[in-house]
Structure 1
């Protein structure tokens, strides 16, 4: 990539993802898994360039990002043992020098972590939720809560792919024994002393800073609804029969019955999800922004809110419980979402140009 600063009238963004030296060498818009986003941006007159990140080439990546107007980031919080710690510092530096970054690391720390479940528990998407800020608080408070309220779900603050998410319940009357099931694919239920669970979870207070504790949702087998957002507007939905935190059948975790179903994508106008859309656009997202101190222009160009079905209401209708927000690396996405991303990017670029022009 040409790292010389281009004229301000040109609209150029970088699409940043993680990869190795081969991926950096061969990266083109056409062979990228984000090709649909490249095409949608081109359709609205925005040039997008692929940038492949690794900690070993951070200085080169910084130069590349400083040569564009904006940066769209698709990097998981944890990937093959690597976190985003160094990347987030780089992105903060780039954003401070001019290009806008989506999602900005500071915005991710507000909304794209499990702590948001605790901070927004008062919204209509909330449920019985608690936060443990230290291993000592976790040891002191969790056992009595588990005994009093039934199965719980523990979540490390930052993670993806089910890493650090545990269903915990009391299997028998045996004192000090808990049954746990990790959300990662292939996991099996384990009975263990609760002290072993404390030991497994203690590292989460390092990288993530806290553990979030939610009530288990019995309607989990009905599936998860992923509400895709571009800025403050719904860009589509995905519905999937998930298997995480559901014990596998007797045939084992590799059996066909233990595998999650396909995620069925829908556009933003899909009839089954219009009540959820109204809640997201008209109530929950604005109240989340107010609670967390996020302005609309800082919302990620693509993010999603994952919902489980909560208890049915008095009329038999569905309610929804937020189980996480993904703001670091939201992909794949519905067919309608790339165009929504492109519209949001175009709007952000125009706003940034007006700010620079005074």
Structure 2
């Protein structure tokens, strides 16, 4: 039997994140990293509580989630070797039995994976992008594409923190040898036969299902722009100078490791990003929803699109290339985002209640 939810004037929501039994027993809104989200939800009349998840107590968490009206999920695709396979199955069950779940696992599988780069490559944010559905196709197609088109970036379909993301370039006058750089922090360039790289990437065809191959963007040193979205509206921006996929300077083995720059947060009205905001709200997000068959009410209450600067246009202006969408665990967020999350969630819970009550 489902846990009973008592109708009241206030909705109840659980904010779900990963942790162990100790974290679960000690969790409060006040000591949570999502404290600003809890405060924003309270300000619009939503009672929110933390819910800590681990595979060792899945059933307990499931019963807890069945007792609330909505669940906001912040869990990475991969964490210390654990995937979201068990969690996603549980969240599908919870959503099917009533509570609103954001982001729903099925929506993540459409937009929060690297395959979205291939499915939406025809949009204004797209670039030269290919998909390999099997190790056989990868081995047959990738080496010739690399030789013909210059440096590429390979991405496993599901991952975070740079896991499974590689810059690859063919070495001149060295047939079959490539220079690779893994995007995880602390990794250094390596040279190896392309067959060794293909073997190293073969496990990506397991849980993730495919490998995505994009052209390397020469303006990567100019930084990355993170466009934060609440449903179909921009909730803010973050600009960061990044280290991933940029080879370190030749300073010797004892030089300190270069660190990425801090992400500078901006509100949705930041003048520097209004062209990007207009493209996202008026063109790219509506086009993405159509391409992926997602309706606006299913978009996550918080997600982000990471952009690199593409080649300058004919007038010398910036263009933008999508490098990934984060829908599983979008955090940290701009100061304006918690209020946007609260507004979006309140509207959805109100619509859900109207449907349930007829």
Q: Which category of TM-score, normalised to the shorter sequence, fits these structures?
A: over 0.9
Partner residue, 1:224: 224
Give the length in aligned residue pairs.
356
Q: What are the Cα deviations for residues 69-124 of structure 1, in whole angstroms up to 9, with x where unaligned?
A: 00000000000000000000000000000001000000000000000000000000
Contact 1:15 1:48 in 2 (8 A): yes
Q: CA deviation at 1:5?
A: 2.7
Q: CA deviation at 1:229?
A: 0.1
Partner residue, 1:31: 31
Partner residue, 1:99: 99
Q: Residue 254 and residue 343 in structure 1: after superposition, are their counterparts in 2 closer, same or farther (change >3 A)? A: farther
Partner residue, 1:351: 351
Partner residue, 1:162: 162
Provide the C-alpha distance between the structure 1 equivalents of 2:285 and 2:254, rounded to a whole number of angstroms: 38
Partner residue, 2:260: 260
Contact 2:5 2:69 in 1 (8 A): no
Provide the C-alpha distance between the structure 2 equivalents of 1:262 and 1:319, rounded to a whole number of angstroms: 23
Pairwise mapping of residues 133-148 of structure 1 onto structure 2 (< 5 A)? Answer: 133-148=133-148
Q: CA deviation at 1:251?
A: 3.3
Contact 1:222 1:241 in 2 (8 A): yes
* TM-score, normalisation: structure 1: 0.98
Partner residue, 1:181: 181
Q: What are the Cα deviations for residues 272-325 of structure 1, in whole angstroms up to 9, with x where unaligned?
A: 000000000000000000000000000000000000000000000000000000
Provide the C-alpha distance between the structure 2 equivalents of 1:123 and 1:247, rounded to a whole number of angstroms: 30
Partner residue, 1:126: 126
Pairwise mapping of residues 303-322 of structure 1 onto structure 2 (< 5 A)? Answer: 303-322=303-322
Partner residue, 2:271: 271
Root mean square deviation, CA, Å: 1.2
Provide the C-alpha distance between the structure 1 equivalents of 2:328 and 2:238, rounded to a whole number of angstroms: 18
Partner residue, 2:51: 51
Does the residue aligned with 1:158 lie in a helix, a strand or coil?
coil
Partner residue, 1:340: 340
Q: What are the Cα deviations for residues 204-238 of structure 1, in whole angstroms up to 9, with x where unaligned?
A: 00010000000000000000000000000000000
Runs of 4+ in 1 over 4 A off after TM superposition: 252-257
Provide the C-alpha distance between the structure 2 equivalents of 1:265 and 1:306, rounded to a whole number of angstroms: 13
Q: CA deviation at 1:249?
A: 1.8
Provide the C-alpha distance between the structure 2 equivalents of 1:255 and 1:351, rounded to a whole number of angstroms: 57
Provide the C-alpha distance between the structure 2 equivalents of 1:236 and 1:262, rounded to a whole number of angstroms: 16
Contact 2:10 2:45 in 1 (8 A): no
Provide the C-alpha distance between the structure 1 equivalents of 2:134 and 2:287, rounded to a whole number of angstroms: 28
Partner residue, 2:11: 11
User: Could you tell which deviates more after superposition, 60-69 or 249-258?
Assistant: 249-258
Provide the C-alpha distance between the structure 1 equivalents of 2:140 and 2:257, rounded to a whole number of angstroms: 38
Q: Give unpaired runs (5+ residues) of structure 2.
A: none
Provide the C-alpha distance between the structure 2 equivalents of 1:10 and 1:54, rounded to a whole number of angstroms: 28
Q: Give unpaired runs (5+ residues) of structure 1.
A: none
Partner residue, 2:197: 197
Q: What are the Cα deviations for residues 256-287 of structure 1, in whole angstroms up to 9, with x where unaligned?
A: 57210000000000000000000000000000
Q: Residue 94 and residue 244 in structure 1: after superposition, are their counterparts in 2 closer, same or farther (change >3 A)? A: same
Q: CA deviation at 1:171?
A: 1.8
Q: Residue 318 and residue 257 in structure 1: after superposition, are their counterparts in 2 closer, same or farther (change >3 A)? A: farther
